[in-house]
Structure 1
Amino acid sequence: MEETYSNYVKISPVATKRNSGIAVELLLVASSFTLLTWFAQLLWRRRKLYKSSSELPGPIAFPLIGCALSFIGSPYTIFANITKMFDSYPGLFRVWFGPRLFYAVSDPKYFEILLPTCLRKEPLYHHANVIVGHGLFTAPVDIWKKHRKLIAPTFHQKILDNFVEVFAEQGAILVDQLKKYSGKGEFDLFHVISKCTLDIICETAMGVKVNAQTTDALYTKWADRIMEIIFMRIFVIWYHFDSVFNMTSMATECGKIIRNMHQFSGKVVREKKLAFEEKLRKQKESTDTYFEAEPVKRKAFLDYLLEVTTDEQTGFTEEQLREEVDTFIVAGSDTTASTNCFVFTMLGLHQDLQDRVYEEIIDVLGPHRAVEPSDLHKLKYMERFIKETLRLFPVAGLVVRAIDEDIKVGDFVFQSGTSVVFGILRAHTNEENWPNPFKFDPDRFLPEEIAKRHPCSYVPFSYGPRNCIGPRYAMMAMKSLLCSVLRKYKIFTSYENVEDVKLKANLVLRPKDGYKVSVELRNI
């Protein structure tokens, strides 16, 4: 009886296999249903984005990766593909980058409304945090508003006027350094000019002399390389994942450069902060009402920031000071150097206009007198020349902002949760606002010509509350250097026209083939 019962309840191997197969099938069905449900919910939540995207032209987007394949290659290839997109879809178009929707605009009417409204930086900018932390360039809106309010007074005209002496002193050193290259053909102008602008920004921003022009300073090379690495992280989609990027040689190089840059700026901040605290302590401990006052020294930006930092509630921490100093150094040296080099290239390309700039300098300063603050506003033609250079070669060809609320412009609604790419270079070369756009003509910036154009057709320093904080500083520094160099040297280039200057990007615009410039001493 026991044997019969045992045979009866025994489950055959075939039945067991069949039951297991049913269980697997049920699991697959349940998983598929869960996945489809999740996907359907995702599509429903994003329905406004897909509808918005369908209303606009744009490049072909593949599932999951979008248009990411267009952003593979060298910085030149990536920027060339971006330029082609703006040329192919003028005004407004859409780009899917991975699963995210970006609107791309180049019409000034969009700039005028969106730039003052969209203040939060696109999240991809967080890759730049390795350089400047939460300095003004990348800071969240709440931190940016607080810091901008504290920093803005340091760019008062009277403070900037005190820096002209520094501009002139470093310009004289630059003139001496250029003797090495005079009459010897074309050379890499950027690494010469960037050392000069580094000396200027360190003395004006931090109050220290680093003597970059007369020593083998590496900071400018670090800054140039780190910005190229960050540009690649932003546009090559698989580098967004730390696990992937950290396996590359770029990650090792990036870490080494960042440590060097932060060590450089951090040491200065700590020493300046200790010196400032010691000065306050001595003043507090002094009981002599008639002590002799210290002679007035030229203050740097960092000195002004340290003064507001005495209030612990509203001031800066040591880390925040270093982040803002890093921002000043990178933005103030690299970007100004780049623009200066483009200006020199355009001077070499347009010899007749170079003669006109030179003649204006001689009329205002004479052949030898050092430049003074009151001289700079008299250099009207030079300023127009610089502005025309910035039109064709803006520091940033693109600016990207996040959209945190639906914004209606005309009949179109920019959806919350997306981002907008502002094609500054495209806006600067749009034939509707700039007839014969690649003709170099400083007289485009005569007052009567400016009045004819939309105010946002020219935005080299961005537009709205979150624009660049230092355009006056940059213009004064550039004018001063031009006065120093052009009185001693004549500039030449092998470029034959503006279109020959092919562009790449490493956060800021650079010429693909370098700044082809040579110098020769003037016969004076």
Structure 2
Amino acid sequence: MLPKKVPSVKGVFFFGHALEFGRDPLTFMLNIQKNYKRFAQLRIVHLKINLILTAEDAKYVLQENNKSFIKGRAYRVLSMVLGNGMLTSNGDFWHRQRKLAQPAFYKQRLALLVDTISDETNLLIKNWQGQLAESNGKKTVQIPKEMMATTLKIVTKALFGTDIDPEKIEQISFDIDELNELASIQMRTPIRLPLWIPSRFNQRFKTSSSRVHAVIQEIISTRRNILENNPNAEFDDLMQMLITAKDEETGEQMSDQQLKDEIITLFLAGHETTAMAMSWALYLLAQHPAVVQKMRNEIKEVLGDSTTPHYDSMRTLPYSMQVIQEVLRLYPPAWAFSRQVLNDEVVGGYLIPKNQQVLINTYILHRNTAYWDNPEVFNPDNFLPEKIKERPTYAYLPFGGGPRLCIGNNFALMEMQIMLVALVRHFDFDPIETVIPEPQITLKPKGGMKLRVSQRC
């Protein structure tokens, strides 16, 4: 049987779907999902994008035939920020980098970071308690800002240890946020100016990028100098593991450029994504007091009143983990990812021509009624073991899938669980406003997210 042509979604002359996609991509693609079964082809000016609508086809692209689908156009924009790190690279280079970095995320390594996460979360709690004591027990908090500040401290200590100038880290954070915003604009702009053109946009990009690379290079050079002068020096951080990692076959280590790219990637991925996920978690819990109470019952039963969660708490606090999984279903920080097909491919009976893009939108896949009952409703029971068994694995992709599954997925889940358990123990959260998701590089709350925080009685 001859393969079918992917059905095209009707667009406007010249622009195709660029205006709708740029204005509100989530609603636009949710509406497409209601009217198409497996694939739908969009057009952004000249660029054709094949939207994947089923878990089966997502599995084929990400796992079963992953070598035929590489990181494409969107990741070329990201590479402007992240360089050629694990998130943006392809082929043998990616595979080598992944092997070098993997030991940094083994269970025993992650277990050592529990105290770092707990310490920074406890500092946040004490800070909030002090503020509440001065404001009659209630305070309006801009949640994403607070979560970003805490996850920034956590990822800084995890990557670099404690001996780093806080002002340098704040500068990196500011500039990466700037680059993130600029890259988001670039991704949604049909026609882009080359970076060599001295536009205001390009000047902002180059300035922030240069500062980030200069600070990271300084940190790497300082560490290398210490190790050259004292080969027995030990540092209990991820950078040390990346600097000393060796290729099993060649014995080669990462160059400074490779180190910079991987560190910037881990800094961004381990900072903003978790902060956004935590923000959405508190927003949803503020609207569902029964879920909060069920969490608290489990926490008290398993941990008592004071025990700190540890790495294995993901198993001993199953309901808390279900809450996190459901948050990541409704508001996945990595809301979409794309691939470029190397040669003509037939996927689910449809022909995807060479060099065209395929797009997997996790936000809409997580709302597909073929896999989820009442998908707009926050329901942690979606992740009961028996419910998980009923669904195709690739119906749920908060960390991607296949060989390119996010290397830091277990770290992110552990960090979220420790933070969420601690905050739910100490505070009540009440909603103030309805928040709309805004898809940038990550899925952010548009205009911020205010919640009323009060000390738990």
Same fold (TM over 0.5): yes
Partner of 2:119: 169
Deviations 1:386-425 (A, max 9, x none): 0000000011221111101222233222222111001211
Partner of 1:198: 152
What is the percent sequence identity of the aligned residues? 22
Equivalent-residue separation in structure 2 for 1:137 and 1:400 (angstroms)? 12
> Which piece of structure 1 moves more, 327-336 or 397-406?
397-406
Equivalent-residue separation in structure 2 for 1:404 and 1:180 (angstroms)? 57
Deviations 1:438-479 (A, max 9, x none): 111111101111111111111110111112111111111111
The yes-or-no answer on 1:237 pairing with 2:229 is no
Partner of 2:45: 98
For 1:191, what is the secondary structure of its paired residue? Answer: helix
For 1:465, what is the secondary structure of its paired residue? Answer: helix
Match of 1:62 among 8, 13, 18: 13
Q: What is the Cα-based RMSD across aligned positions, in Å?
A: 2.6
Partner of 2:410: 472
Q: Which amino acid aligns with 2:225?
A: L
Work out whether residues 493 and 516 of structure 1, in 8 Å CA contact, stay in contact via their aligned partners in 2: yes
Q: Which amino acid aligns with 1:62?
A: F
The yes-or-no answer on 1:408 pairing with 2:346 is yes
Partner of 1:377: 315
Partner of 2:80: 130
Q: 1:135 to 1:216 in 2, by over 3 A?
A: closer
Equivalent-residue separation in structure 2 for 1:377 and 1:486 (angstroms)? 18
Partner of 1:359: 297
The yes-or-no answer on 1:334 pairing with 2:272 is yes
1:112 Cα deviation after fit: 0.9
Match of 1:314 among 252, 255, 270: 252
Match of 2:366 among 428, 432, 435: 428
Partner of 2:261: 323
Work out whether residues 228 and 505 of structure 1, in 8 Å CA contact, stay in contact via their aligned partners in 2: no
Partner of 2:209: 258
Q: 1:382 to 1:329 in 2, by over 3 A?
A: same
Partner of 1:107: 54
Deviations 1:161-188 (A, max 9, x none): 1111111111111112223653444321
Q: 1:124 to 1:408 in 2, by over 3 A?
A: same
Structure 2, unmatched stretches of 5+, are: none
For 1:129, what is the secondary structure of its paired residue? Answer: helix
Q: 1:138 to 1:303 in 2, by over 3 A?
A: same
Match of 2:427 among 489, 494, 517: 489
Deviations 1:184-203 (A, max 9, x none): 44321111111111111111
Q: 1:430 to 1:79 in 2, by over 3 A?
A: closer
The yes-or-no answer on 1:226 pairing with 2:168 is no
1:98 Cα deviation after fit: 2.8
1:219 Cα deviation after fit: 4.0
Equivalent-residue separation in structure 2 for 1:455 and 1:197 (angstroms)? 29
| Structure showing greater Rg | 1
Partner of 2:237: 300
Equivalent-residue separation in structure 2 for 1:260 and 1:80 (angstroms)? 36
1:488 Cα deviation after fit: 1.7
Work out whether residues 309 and 317 of structure 1, in 8 Å CA contact, stay in contact via their aligned partners in 2: no
Match of 2:439 among 491, 495, 505: 505
Q: 1:258 to 1:179 in 2, by over 3 A?
A: farther
For 1:251, what is the secondary structure of its paired residue? Answer: helix
Q: 1:335 to 1:181 in 2, by over 3 A?
A: farther
Q: 1:72 to 1:414 in 2, by over 3 A?
A: closer
Work out whether residues 320 and 421 of structure 2, in 8 Å CA contact, stay in contact via their aligned partners in 1: no
TM-score (norm 1): 0.79
Equivalent-residue separation in structure 2 for 1:435 and 1:71 (angstroms)? 27
Work out whether residues 100 and 246 of structure 2, in 8 Å CA contact, stay in contact via their aligned partners in 1: no
For 1:59, what is the secondary structure of its paired residue? Answer: coil
Equivalent-residue separation in structure 1 for 2:359 and 2:169 (angstroms)? 38
Q: 1:268 to 1:88 in 2, by over 3 A?
A: farther
Work out whether residues 206 and 325 of structure 1, in 8 Å CA contact, stay in contact via their aligned partners in 2: no
Partner of 2:375: 437
For 2:87, what is the secondary structure of its paired residue? Answer: coil
Work out whether residues 100 and 247 of structure 2, in 8 Å CA contact, stay in contact via their aligned partners in 1: no
Equivalent-residue separation in structure 2 for 1:104 and 1:514 (angstroms)? 29
> Which piece of structure 1 moves more, 142-151 or 201-210?
201-210
TM-score (norm 2): 0.90
Q: 1:181 to 1:92 in 2, by over 3 A?
A: farther
Q: Which amino acid aligns with 2:47?
A: R
Work out whether residues 199 and 210 of structure 1, in 8 Å CA contact, stay in contact via their aligned partners in 2: no
Q: Which amino acid aligns with 2:372?
A: W
Deviations 1:309-329 (A, max 9, x none): 599853200111111000110
For 1:491, what is the secondary structure of its paired residue? Answer: strand
For 2:253, what is the secondary structure of its paired residue? Answer: coil
> Which piece of structure 1 moves more, 324-333 or 509-518?
509-518
Equivalent-residue separation in structure 2 for 1:125 and 1:310 (angstroms)? 25
For 1:518, what is the secondary structure of its paired residue? Answer: strand
Partner of 1:186: 140
Structure 1, unmatched stretches of 5+, are: 1-47, 284-293
1:374 Cα deviation after fit: 4.0
Equivalent-residue separation in structure 2 for 1:515 and 1:210 (angstroms)? 30
For 1:451, what is the secondary structure of its paired residue? Answer: helix
Equivalent-residue separation in structure 1 for 2:378 and 2:111 (angstroms)? 30
For 1:367, what is the secondary structure of its paired residue? Answer: coil
Work out whether residues 314 and 321 of structure 2, in 8 Å CA contact, stay in contact via their aligned partners in 1: no
For 1:304, what is the secondary structure of its paired residue? Answer: helix
Q: 1:310 to 1:380 in 2, by over 3 A?
A: closer
Q: 1:226 to 1:177 in 2, by over 3 A?
A: farther
Partner of 1:31: none
Partner of 1:267: 218
Equivalent-residue separation in structure 2 for 1:273 and 1:226 (angstroms)? 27
